[in-house]
């Protein structure tokens, strides 16, 4: 198994693993303030899987309190239950004390991670997430492998399992090569209303190019020039949730977008957006500007959609999957429904059991494949039972995981803006 949870990127980055920018800002209850009321328990996907108190947010908060407040060692068993967390943050939404579980978890993970030796393969993966040029150099090889016909015999040989790469390999699909970086102007006959920048992320830049092109097309169509700065990189979510400092990635992104003279920095994937929206640093002018400029693509399109622009009608039945990052962090799921209503005739329903995580959980699909696959199976059943012609999801990671390794005929998830982009 490719164990991304045990990363040691320090060897590559010189990062000691400590974070001088421990989350601050709005009041964050300390882990010791949990009332142990249990209101969060039934919302937790791992409690649903294991039905034991050790797999509840309440118990994890107790473990986090030992790490952060009492500063006492925790057992391997407690560590295992803590690591089983998907970081879906459904417990935050359920908690009457507004316990900031996500922030507390990240702080505890960072403290614990300082003492752990990490596998080389995991270190390499994190290194590639950090280094755009190196990542791009590998993509043609990946593309060649996927097209070569080697995939079937290699899978059958058992070598991938021996190398603990079988799970990661099963998720692969054809990457887009090259870069999107540049300026995308509005059409010659159109009046330009403004200028915005697009955040493309790390993996989504290559594995969700169609959605990013749809974003550019729609923004151009409603009159906005789009700038895609080459200097941007990964949002840092995978680093932060795995106990590594994401500060260098945050600083790099803020710097890449600052002074572009744009009125908004727009993200497409809600998982990246959740991380970007919680960038906290030194309260500098640049960090403040970034926070004020950040906008979700669904929100931006909805707020700036011209009254005169009517997409082509469609009678498709659409089920809306609501990613945890959108539901529990950004809390802007209604924008998707309202935006899709711009398409006349569309029948739009929420996917049943939207409150339950699909299992992707950033790197969780790699670190805990058995748990992740059980949750994915449940989500796929909900999708198949929905009767939908199309399922939409605003998070790249969820769609990537739910679409992976499926028959070509299976119902695929797409970002909601792709339905719009196809009809304008
Ligand atoms: S709902 Fe909040 S206060 Fe209650 S047990 Fe869960 S984390 Fe603690
Ligand atoms: S973040 Fe999700 S998986 Fe983790 S304790 Fe909270 S509800 Fe459970």
Residue whose CA is at the smallest distance from ligand 2 atom 7: 44
Which pLDDT value is given to residue 150?
87
Which pLDDT value is given to residue 381?
95
Q: How far apart are CA 319 and CA 349, in angstroms?
A: 5
Which pLDDT value is given to residue 299?
98
Q: CATH classification of 19-113 is 1.10.150.20, yes or no?
A: no
Least distant ligand from the CA of 57: 2
Which pLDDT value is given to residue 17?
33
Residue whose CA is at the smallest distance from ligand 2 atom 8: 44
Residue whose CA is at the smallest distance from ligand 2 atom 5: 57
Tokens of 222: 């409603």
* CA of residue 58 to ligand 2 center, whole Å: 9
Of ligand 2's listed atoms, the one at least distance from the Cα of 89 is 1
- The answer, yes or no, to whether any atom of ligand 1 lies below 6 A from the CB of 347, is no
Q: CATH classification of 308-421 is 3.40.50.300, yes or no?
A: no
Model confidence over 193-206: pLDDT tens digits?
999 999 999 989 99
Of ligand 2's listed atoms, the one at least distance from the Cα of 57 is 5
Q: Are 182-303 and 308-421 in the same CATH fold?
A: yes
- The answer, yes or no, to whether any atom of ligand 1 lies below 6 A from the CB of 34, is yes
Which residue positions in the chain have pLDDT lower than 70? Answer: 1-28, 117-119, 281-282
Which pLDDT value is given to residue 16?
33
* CA of residue 58 to ligand 1 center, whole Å: 6
Which pLDDT value is given to residue 28?
63
Which pLDDT value is given to residue 18?
36
* CA of residue 20 to ligand 1 center, whole Å: 28
* Per-domain boundaries in the chain: 19-113, 120-170, 182-303, 308-421
Pocket of ligand 1, candidates 29, 40, 62, 328: which has the most ligand atoms within 8 Å of its Cβ, to mutate? Answer: 40
- The answer, yes or no, to whether any atom of ligand 1 lies below 6 A from the CB of 53, is no
CATH class of 182-303: alpha beta
Which pLDDT value is given to residue 12?
32
Whether this model's pTM surpasses 0.85: yes
């Amino acid at each position: 198994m490719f164990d991304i949870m045990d990363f040691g990127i320090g060897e590559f980055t010189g990062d000691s693993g400590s974070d001088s920018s421990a989350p601050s800002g709005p009041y964050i209850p300390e882990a010791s303030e949990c009332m142990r009321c249990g209101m969060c328990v039934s919302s937790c996907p791992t409690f649903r899987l294991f039905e034991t108190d050790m797999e509840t947010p309440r118990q994890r908060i107790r473990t986090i309190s030992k790490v952060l407040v009492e500063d006492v060692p925790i057992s391997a068993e407690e560590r295992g239950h803590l690591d089983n967390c998907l970081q879906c943050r459904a417990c935050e939404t359920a908690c009457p004390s507004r316990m900031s579980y996500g922030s507390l978890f990240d702080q505890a993970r960072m403290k614990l991670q300082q003492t752990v030796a990490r596998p080389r393969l995991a270190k390499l993966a994190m290194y590639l997430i950090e280094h755009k040029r190196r990542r791009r150099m590998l993509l043609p090889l990946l593309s060649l492998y996927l097209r070569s016909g080697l995939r079937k015999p290699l899978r059958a040989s058992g070598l991938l399992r021996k190398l603990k790469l079988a799970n990661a390999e099963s998720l692969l699909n054809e990457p887009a090569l090259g870069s999107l970086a540049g300026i995308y102007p509005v059409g010659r006959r159109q009046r330009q209303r403004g200028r915005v920048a697009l955040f493309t992320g790390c993996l989504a830049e290559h594995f969700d190019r169609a959605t990013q092109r749809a974003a550019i097309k729609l923004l151009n169509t409603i009159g906005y020039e789009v700038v895609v700065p080459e200097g941007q990189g990964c949002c840092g979510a995978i680093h932060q949730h795995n106990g590594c400092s994401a500060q260098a990635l945050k600083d790099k992104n803020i710097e890449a977008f600052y002074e572009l003279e744009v009125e908004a920095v727009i993200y497409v994937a809600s998982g990246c957006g959740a991380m970007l929206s919680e960038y906290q640093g030194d309260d500098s002018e640049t960090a403040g500007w970034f926070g004020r400029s950040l906008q979700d693509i669904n929100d931006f399109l909805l707020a700036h959609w011209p009254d005169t622009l009517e997409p082509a009608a469609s009678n498709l039945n659409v089920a809306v999957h609501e990613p945890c990052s959108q539901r529990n962090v950004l809390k802007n799921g209604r924008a998707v429904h309202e935006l899709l209503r711009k398409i006349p005739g569309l029948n739009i329903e929420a996917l049943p059991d939207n409150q339950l995580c699909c299992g992707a959980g950033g790197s969780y699909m790699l670190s805990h494949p058995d748990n992740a696959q059980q949750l994915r199976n449940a989500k796929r059943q909900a999708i198949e039972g929905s009767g939908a012609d199309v399922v939409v999801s605003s998070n790249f990671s969820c769609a990537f995981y739910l679409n992976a390794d499926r028959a070509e005929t299976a119902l695929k998830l797409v970002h909601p803006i792709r339905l719009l982009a196809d009809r304008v």
